[in-house]
Protein backbone atom coordinates (compact mmCIF):
# COMPACT_ATOMS: atom_id res chain seq x y z
CA UNK A 1 0.00 0.00 0.00
CA UNK A 2 2.77 2.36 1.02
CA UNK A 3 4.75 1.38 -2.03
CA UNK A 4 1.81 2.13 -4.22
CA UNK A 5 1.44 5.59 -2.68
CA UNK A 6 5.17 6.14 -3.02
CA UNK A 7 5.08 5.13 -6.65
CA UNK A 8 2.15 7.38 -7.24
CA UNK A 9 3.87 10.39 -5.74
CA UNK A 10 7.04 9.60 -7.71
CA UNK A 11 5.04 9.40 -10.90
CA UNK A 12 3.42 12.72 -10.09
CA UNK A 13 6.80 14.32 -9.36
CA UNK A 14 8.15 12.92 -12.60
CA UNK A 15 5.18 14.28 -14.47
CA UNK A 16 5.46 17.67 -12.85
CA UNK A 17 9.16 17.92 -13.66
CA UNK A 18 9.01 16.50 -17.15
CA UNK A 19 5.58 17.71 -17.92
CA UNK A 20 5.95 21.27 -16.69
CA UNK A 21 5.90 22.56 -20.22
CA UNK A 22 2.96 20.35 -21.05
CA UNK A 23 1.23 21.71 -17.98
CA UNK A 24 1.82 25.29 -19.09
CA UNK A 25 0.41 24.47 -22.50
CA UNK A 26 -2.47 22.71 -20.80
CA UNK A 27 -3.30 25.72 -18.66
CA UNK A 28 -3.08 27.98 -21.70
CA UNK A 29 -5.34 25.69 -23.71
CA UNK A 30 -7.68 25.50 -20.74
CA UNK A 31 -7.90 29.29 -20.65
CA UNK A 32 -8.60 29.32 -24.38
CA UNK A 33 -11.27 26.66 -23.93
CA UNK A 34 -12.86 28.72 -21.15
CA UNK A 35 -12.97 31.69 -23.47
CA UNK A 36 -14.59 29.72 -26.27
CA UNK A 37 -16.95 27.97 -23.94
CA UNK A 38 -18.07 31.28 -22.55
CA UNK A 39 -18.90 32.50 -26.05
CA UNK A 40 -21.89 30.20 -26.72
CA UNK A 41 -23.39 31.51 -23.46
CA UNK A 42 -23.54 34.95 -24.98
CA UNK A 43 -24.59 33.54 -28.32
CA UNK A 44 -27.50 31.82 -26.56
CA UNK A 45 -28.55 35.09 -24.91
CA UNK A 46 -31.55 35.06 -27.21
CA UNK A 47 -33.88 32.11 -27.06
CA UNK A 48 -34.90 30.82 -30.45
CA UNK A 49 -38.65 31.17 -31.01
CA UNK A 50 -38.80 30.66 -34.75
CA UNK A 51 -38.85 26.94 -35.34
CA UNK A 52 -41.68 25.64 -37.56
CA UNK A 53 -43.30 23.85 -34.62
CA UNK A 54 -43.34 26.99 -32.45
CA UNK A 55 -44.53 29.14 -35.36
CA UNK A 56 -47.43 26.75 -36.00
CA UNK A 57 -48.51 26.86 -32.35
CA UNK A 58 -48.24 30.65 -32.33
CA UNK A 59 -50.41 30.96 -35.44
CA UNK A 60 -53.00 28.65 -33.95
CA UNK A 61 -53.04 30.64 -30.69
CA UNK A 62 -53.23 33.93 -32.58
CA UNK A 63 -56.39 32.91 -34.39
CA UNK A 64 -57.92 31.49 -31.21
CA UNK A 65 -57.22 34.67 -29.29
CA UNK A 66 -60.00 36.44 -31.20
CA UNK A 67 -62.47 33.94 -29.74
CA UNK A 68 -60.94 34.03 -26.26
CA UNK A 69 -60.69 37.81 -25.98
CA UNK A 70 -64.38 38.46 -25.18
CA UNK A 71 -64.20 35.75 -22.51
CA UNK A 72 -61.13 37.34 -20.91
CA UNK A 73 -62.90 40.70 -20.88
CA UNK A 74 -66.13 39.33 -19.41
CA UNK A 75 -64.32 37.32 -16.77
CA UNK A 76 -65.54 33.98 -18.06
CA UNK A 77 -61.99 32.85 -18.62
CA UNK A 78 -58.96 33.79 -16.56
CA UNK A 79 -55.20 33.33 -16.68
CA UNK A 80 -53.92 30.76 -14.22
CA UNK A 81 -50.74 31.10 -12.16
CA UNK A 82 -49.15 28.17 -13.99
CA UNK A 83 -49.33 29.63 -17.47
CA UNK A 84 -52.62 28.22 -18.67
CA UNK A 85 -56.20 29.48 -18.99
CA UNK A 86 -59.21 28.24 -17.06
CA UNK A 87 -62.97 28.76 -17.09
CA UNK A 88 -63.53 31.03 -14.12
CA UNK A 89 -67.23 31.80 -14.37
CA UNK A 90 -69.04 29.40 -16.68
CA UNK A 91 -72.38 30.93 -15.66
CA UNK A 92 -71.60 33.99 -17.77
CA UNK A 93 -72.18 32.10 -21.01
CA UNK A 94 -75.44 30.43 -22.08
CA UNK A 95 -75.72 26.75 -21.28
CA UNK A 96 -75.67 25.88 -24.98
CA UNK A 97 -72.25 27.48 -25.44
CA UNK A 98 -70.52 26.01 -22.42
CA UNK A 99 -69.20 22.89 -24.12
CA UNK A 100 -67.79 25.04 -26.91
CA UNK A 101 -66.14 27.24 -24.29
CA UNK A 102 -64.68 24.24 -22.52
CA UNK A 103 -63.31 22.97 -25.82
CA UNK A 104 -61.83 26.40 -26.57
CA UNK A 105 -60.05 26.47 -23.21
CA UNK A 106 -58.87 22.90 -23.63
CA UNK A 107 -57.46 23.62 -27.10
CA UNK A 108 -55.74 26.76 -25.84
CA UNK A 109 -54.11 24.85 -23.00
CA UNK A 110 -52.98 22.09 -25.34
CA UNK A 111 -51.34 24.73 -27.54
CA UNK A 112 -49.76 26.45 -24.55
CA UNK A 113 -48.23 23.17 -23.37
CA UNK A 114 -46.96 22.59 -26.91
CA UNK A 115 -45.54 26.12 -26.97
CA UNK A 116 -43.55 25.67 -23.76
CA UNK A 117 -42.35 22.25 -24.84
CA UNK A 118 -41.55 23.46 -28.34
CA UNK A 119 -39.54 26.43 -27.16
CA UNK A 120 -37.50 24.28 -24.79
CA UNK A 121 -36.86 21.75 -27.55
CA UNK A 122 -36.06 24.49 -30.08
CA UNK A 123 -33.22 25.64 -27.86
CA UNK A 124 -31.83 22.18 -27.32
CA UNK A 125 -32.87 21.99 -23.67
CA UNK A 126 -36.12 20.01 -23.27
CA UNK A 127 -35.54 20.17 -19.50
CA UNK A 128 -36.14 23.94 -19.60
CA UNK A 129 -39.85 23.38 -20.28
CA UNK A 130 -40.84 23.98 -16.66
CA UNK A 131 -38.76 27.16 -16.37
CA UNK A 132 -40.12 28.46 -19.68
CA UNK A 133 -43.65 27.71 -18.51
CA UNK A 134 -43.03 29.62 -15.25
CA UNK A 135 -41.57 32.56 -17.18
CA UNK A 136 -44.59 32.61 -19.49
CA UNK A 137 -47.03 32.31 -16.59
CA UNK A 138 -45.58 35.47 -15.06
CA UNK A 139 -45.50 37.37 -18.34
CA UNK A 140 -49.04 36.41 -19.44
CA UNK A 141 -50.30 37.82 -16.13
CA UNK A 142 -48.10 40.92 -16.29
CA UNK A 143 -49.25 41.66 -19.82
CA UNK A 144 -52.93 40.92 -19.26
CA UNK A 145 -55.18 43.87 -19.95
CA UNK A 146 -57.05 45.73 -17.24
CA UNK A 147 -60.29 43.98 -16.35
CA UNK A 148 -59.00 40.47 -17.09
CA UNK A 149 -58.96 37.90 -14.32
CA UNK A 150 -55.62 36.45 -13.29
CA UNK A 151 -54.73 33.94 -10.61
CA UNK A 152 -52.51 35.17 -7.79
CA UNK A 153 -51.72 33.09 -4.71
CA UNK A 154 -54.48 30.69 -5.68
CA UNK A 155 -57.13 33.41 -5.91
CA UNK A 156 -58.73 35.13 -8.87
CA UNK A 157 -57.84 38.80 -9.02
CA UNK A 158 -59.21 41.34 -11.46
CA UNK A 159 -56.48 43.41 -13.04
CA UNK B 1 1.95 24.86 -6.62
CA UNK B 2 1.60 23.33 -10.07
CA UNK B 3 -0.91 20.85 -8.84
CA UNK B 4 -2.91 23.77 -7.53
CA UNK B 5 -2.76 25.33 -10.97
CA UNK B 6 -4.02 22.10 -12.45
CA UNK B 7 -6.80 21.88 -9.88
CA UNK B 8 -7.65 25.53 -10.45
CA UNK B 9 -7.87 25.19 -14.21
CA UNK B 10 -9.92 22.02 -13.86
CA UNK B 11 -12.32 23.81 -11.51
CA UNK B 12 -12.50 26.75 -13.87
CA UNK B 13 -13.30 24.52 -16.78
CA UNK B 14 -15.99 22.62 -14.95
CA UNK B 15 -17.47 25.92 -13.78
CA UNK B 16 -17.70 27.02 -17.38
CA UNK B 17 -19.48 23.85 -18.34
CA UNK B 18 -22.08 24.41 -15.62
CA UNK B 19 -22.75 27.95 -16.85
CA UNK B 20 -24.02 26.46 -20.09
CA UNK B 21 -26.61 24.42 -18.23
CA UNK B 22 -28.08 27.40 -16.37
CA UNK B 23 -31.47 28.56 -17.55
CA UNK B 24 -31.16 31.97 -19.25
CA UNK B 25 -33.98 33.65 -17.34
CA UNK B 26 -33.58 37.10 -18.89
CA UNK B 27 -33.48 35.72 -22.41
CA UNK B 28 -36.51 33.55 -21.70
CA UNK B 29 -38.43 36.54 -20.45
CA UNK B 30 -37.54 38.48 -23.57
CA UNK B 31 -38.60 35.58 -25.77
CA UNK B 32 -41.84 35.17 -23.82
CA UNK B 33 -42.64 38.86 -24.23
CA UNK B 34 -42.09 38.59 -27.96
CA UNK B 35 -44.29 35.52 -28.31
CA UNK B 36 -47.07 36.94 -26.10
CA UNK B 37 -47.06 40.22 -28.02
CA UNK B 38 -47.37 38.32 -31.27
CA UNK B 39 -50.25 36.21 -30.02
CA UNK B 40 -52.16 38.92 -28.20
CA UNK B 41 -51.60 41.73 -30.63
CA UNK B 42 -53.86 40.06 -33.19
CA UNK B 43 -57.02 41.95 -32.26
CA UNK B 44 -55.16 45.23 -31.83
CA UNK B 45 -52.92 44.52 -34.81
CA UNK B 46 -55.71 43.26 -37.01
CA UNK B 47 -57.84 46.38 -36.86
CA UNK B 48 -54.96 48.65 -37.95
CA UNK B 49 -54.05 46.07 -40.60
CA UNK B 50 -57.61 45.98 -41.94
CA UNK B 51 -57.79 49.76 -41.79
CA UNK B 52 -54.45 49.89 -43.59
CA UNK B 53 -55.87 47.73 -46.34
CA UNK B 54 -58.91 49.92 -46.62
CA UNK B 55 -56.96 53.13 -46.01
CA UNK B 56 -55.35 53.55 -49.47
CA UNK B 57 -58.68 53.11 -51.21
CA UNK B 58 -60.61 54.78 -48.45
CA UNK B 59 -58.60 57.97 -47.86
CA UNK B 60 -59.60 59.72 -51.09
CA UNK B 61 -63.25 59.04 -50.36
CA UNK B 62 -64.79 61.20 -47.65
CA UNK B 63 -67.33 58.69 -46.21
CA UNK B 64 -64.35 56.51 -45.32
CA UNK B 65 -64.23 58.32 -42.00
CA UNK B 66 -66.81 55.80 -40.78
CA UNK B 67 -64.52 52.71 -41.00
CA UNK B 68 -61.97 54.55 -38.88
CA UNK B 69 -64.34 55.12 -35.98
CA UNK B 70 -65.17 51.41 -35.38
CA UNK B 71 -61.44 50.73 -34.97
CA UNK B 72 -61.28 53.35 -32.25
CA UNK B 73 -64.32 52.03 -30.40
CA UNK B 74 -62.99 48.57 -29.41
CA UNK B 75 -59.89 50.19 -27.96
CA UNK B 76 -61.77 52.71 -25.86
CA UNK B 77 -64.48 50.23 -24.81
CA UNK B 78 -62.35 48.13 -22.40
Chain B closest-CA separation from residue A155 CA (Å): 23
Shared-domain flag, residues A81 and A154: yes
Question: Which residue in A30, A66, A131 is closest to B23 by CB distance?
Answer: A131
Shared domain check, A132 and A82: yes
Q: Please judge whether A47 and B27 are an interchain contact, meaning their C-beta atoms are less than 8 angstroms apart.
A: yes
Tell whether the model's pLDDT for residue A3 goes beyond 60.
yes
Are A75 and A153 in a shared domain?
yes
Total domains present in chain A = 2
Q: What is the domain range of residue A14?
A: 2-43
* A116 and A63 together in one domain: yes
The more confident residue out of A47 and A11 is A47
A25 and A102, same domain (yes or no): no
Out of A34, A125, A131, the one facing B13 most closely (by C-beta) is A34
Q: Are residues A76 and A131 in the same domain?
A: yes
B19 CB neighbours in chain A (<8 A) are 37-38, 41
- A130 and A97 housed in the same domain: yes
Residues A93-130: tens digit of each pLDDT: 999 999 999 999 999 999 999 999 999 999 999 999 99
Q: Strand ranges (DSSP E) for A69-125?
A: 77-79, 85-87
* Predicted-complex ipTM score: 0.72
A13 and A30: one domain?
yes
Using 50, 70 and 90 to split pLDDT, how confident is the model at A47?
Answer: confident
Look at residue B22 in the predicted model and tell me its pLDDT. 86
Where does residue A137 rank: exposed (0-12), middle (13-18), buried (19+ CB within 10 A)? buried
Residue A9 has what pLDDT?
74
Inform me whether the pLDDT recorded for B18 exceeds 60. no
DSSP count for chain A of H helices, then E strands: 5, 4
Does residue A67 share a domain with residue A37? no
Confidence of residue A64 (pLDDT cuts 50, 70, 90): very high
Say yes or no: A69 and A133 in one domain.
yes
Based on the domain organization, do A35 and A75 belong to the same domain?
no
- Alpha-carbon distances of A31 from A25, B7, B18, B37, rounded to whole Å: 10, 13, 16, 41
pLDDT of residue A2: 63
pLDDT tens track for B35-53: 999 999 854 444 443 434 4
Q: Which residues contact B4 (CB under 8 A, 6 or more apart)?
A: none
Given a cut of 60, whether residue B61 has pLDDT beyond it is no
Whether residues A92 and A132 fall in one domain: yes
Amino acid sequence: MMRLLHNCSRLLQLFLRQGYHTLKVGVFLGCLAMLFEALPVYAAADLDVNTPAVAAVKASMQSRHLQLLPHYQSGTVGLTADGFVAVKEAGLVPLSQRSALAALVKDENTDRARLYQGMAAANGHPEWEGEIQRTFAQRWIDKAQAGWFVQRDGQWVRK
Amino acid sequence: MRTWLLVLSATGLSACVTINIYFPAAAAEKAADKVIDEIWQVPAGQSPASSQHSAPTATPVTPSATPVTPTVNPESAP
